[in-house]
Structure 1
Amino acid sequence: MREQDFAFERQILDRLRRMHASLQVAYAAVVVAAIALHRQNADRDEEVARVLEYCVGARLADQIERTAELVVSLSALPVPPEDLDSWGPPPTTAAE
């Protein structure tokens, strides 16, 4: 694999990690807003809280899970030769 390929893969992985973190922040905001609405308990607050929880929160949670799975799967990509410790043993593969 060429150096450019490794750099591109690292860039994609970094972007995916940042996206994952942003989704987590958005999800936390939805949770806090829904809790506040439930506690406030005004006329339409319960309905708005449910919309946040089920329409927004559930979708965010799903995307957080998917991005986490992608980060894990991409983290298993081959390591570029320059990132290997030349004194350590070579990395093992599943076939070994």
Structure 2
Amino acid sequence: MDRNEFFQYYLSALKEALSNDSKNYGYLVKSYDWYIQDPTVLRKMENFKNDNYKKFHDIFNMEESYFDAKSHYAEEVLGIPINKYRNDLLELISLYGKKIN
């Protein structure tokens, strides 16, 4: 899976996850991977993410930190109010979206 293909799937699924982030299933707020229906695509995405984590650590770390905090009903992420952190993540998604188009 190349970078553009990964980010097309990832950003779309991440936006969907954020639009449903008010649903907490008992310390589980579903992240982007829940919204990837094809197991083959998900496996390729996981491989891409593992192989390229350092290169794209900004968005990967932010996504993981946000959903971890949201799952635990936290009001802050790394000292930042969770709503601001969410908005910052949405801005980063937008920046990445511009890079792949």
Highest RCO, 1 vs 2 (Cα 8 Å, sep ≥ 6)? 1
The question of a shared fold, defined as TM-score above 0.5 by the shorter chain, is answered with: no
Larger Rg computed on CA atoms:
1
TM-score class normalised by the smaller sequence:
0.3 to 0.5
TM, length-normalised to structure 2: 0.36
